[in-house]
């Protein structure tokens, strides 16, 4: 009996690369006769012809399926939607649609998995699409995460990774809405193996993950996996109080013993400046965490599936407007909708 492997690909305005990606994946699995495979595209609110291409591929190849989200929910939620729809697969592989995650490496990932790894992580050695600012920002992010959080995230780790079925089932128990997908997987632990690769140039288009989105992801990751920013604010407050006390003591001593005159407003300004700095820093960090709490308490669905194609469409056709949570399968959504 063949082993079933699922591949989840988030898509955002990648119409020009989807057919080439499908062809390369098919070529790779022709060299792996012991495996059945399924390719799931998750269209994350693309404004181009991406969904039309996905539907065409699903009609042409029964191993291709698609989910069309109702809007752009972001890559993290697109990956979540994809993994929630994977039933019966022994392992799930995540990769980008722009071919910067080379399909030729799939056999290496599978080999590491067959040798006992529960999670196989793609480590990017080089990426010519990254500007100097992005490279420096990436190094700074991994430096901070390694020292401030309790999560061991491999430097230059990517979403190009394979996870075992057991990891998928565990992943389905996570419900937070402000998430870093790879961070959650790394937090779980399990046996991990690394595969290094050099990212080639994009086959078409321009990068869709802007610097602003990367900064937002970094901030969300730091505040989701670490209380260090709050602790830092506390330490900063203690430090500023110490400096303020020392400065005020110096001003009082020089005023009393050395006849150095300070106006009353000088004392007020020194004290006020430091206290306002402490308060603003503390409020800023607390606001980030309260924002996360608000997002979780509101309890909106993680994503909304507008329609599906291929295996996920089933006999009833489209799933327009179905709300699918992280642990709900498409079949469950269909049964509940027709109950």
Q: What is the pTM of this model?
A: 0.68
CATH code where residue 181 lies? 3.90.550.10
Domain of 272 in residue numbering reads as 228-298
The pairing of beta strand 91-94 with beta strand 64-69: unpaired
What gap in Å lies between CA 39 and CA 311, rounded to an integer?
A: 10
Of the candidates 107, 6, 97, the one whose C-alpha atom is nearest the C-alpha of residue 51 is 97
Mean pLDDT rounded to a whole number for the chain: 77
- Tally of domains in the chain: 2
> Confidence class of residue 326 from pLDDT cuts 50, 70 and 90?
very low
- Coil, strand or helix: which one is 189? coil
Q: Please tell me the predicted confidence (pLDDT) of residue 202.
A: 60
Q: Could you say which DSSP state residue 310 is in?
A: G
Q: Please tell me the predicted confidence (pLDDT) of residue 138.
A: 63
Give 11: exposed, middle or buried? Use CB within 10 Å, 0-12, 13-18, 19+. buried
Is the same domain home to 149 and 218?
yes
Is the same domain home to 164 and 262?
no
Is the same domain home to 117 and 146?
yes
Q: pLDDT digit string (tens) for 123-164?
A: 888 655 555 666 666 666 666 666 666 667 777 778 899 999
Is the same domain home to 289 and 313?
no
User: Is 80 exceeded by the pLDDT of residue 321?
Assistant: no
Is the same domain home to 58 and 205?
yes
Is the same domain home to 164 and 282?
no
β-sheet with 304-309: strand ranges across: 192-199, 119-127, 157-164, 91-94, 3-11, 35-43, 64-69, 304-309, 322-323
């Amino acid at each position: 009996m063949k082993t079933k492997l699922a591949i989840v690909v988030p898509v955002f305005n990648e119409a020009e690369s989807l057919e080439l990606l499908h062809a390369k994946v098919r070529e790779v699995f022709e060299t792996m006769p012991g495996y059945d495979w399924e390719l799931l595209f998750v269209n994350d609110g693309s404004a181009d012809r991406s969904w039309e291409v996905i539907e065409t591929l699903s009609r042409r190849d029964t191993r291709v399926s698609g989910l069309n989200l109702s809007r752009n929910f972001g890559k993290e939620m697109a990956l979540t939607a994809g993994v929630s729809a994977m039933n019966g697969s022994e392992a799930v592989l995540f990769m980008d649609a722009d071919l910067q995650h080379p399909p030729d490496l799939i056999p290496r990932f599978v080999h590491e998995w067959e040798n006992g790894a529960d999670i196989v992580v793609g480590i990017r050695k080089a990426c010519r699409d990254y500007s100097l600012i992005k490279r420096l920002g990436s190094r700074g992010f991994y430096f901070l995460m390694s020292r401030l959080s309790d999560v061991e995230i491999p430097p230059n780790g990517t979403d190009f990774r394979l996870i075992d079925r057991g990891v998928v089932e565990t992943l389905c128990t996570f419900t937070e809405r402000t998430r870093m997908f790879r961070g959650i997987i790394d937090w779980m632990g399990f046996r991990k193996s690394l595969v290094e690769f050099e990212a080639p140039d994009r086959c078409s288009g321009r990068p869709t993950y802007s610097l602003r989105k990367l900064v937002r992801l970094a901030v969300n990751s730091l505040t989701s996996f670490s209380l260090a920013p709050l602790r830092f604010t506390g330490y900063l407050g203690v430090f500023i109080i110490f400096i303020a006390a020392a400065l005020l003591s110096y001003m009082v001593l020089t005023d009393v013993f050395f006849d150095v005159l300070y106006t009353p407003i000088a004392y007020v300004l020194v004290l006020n400046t430091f206290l306002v700095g402490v308060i603003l820093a503390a409020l800023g960090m607390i606001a980030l965490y309260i924002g996360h709490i608000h997002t979780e308490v509101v309890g909106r669905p993680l994503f909304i599936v507008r329609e599906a194609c291929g295996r996920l469409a089933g006999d009833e056709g489209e799933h327009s407007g179905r709300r699918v949570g992280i642990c709900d399968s498409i079949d469950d959504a269909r049964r509940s909708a027709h109950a």
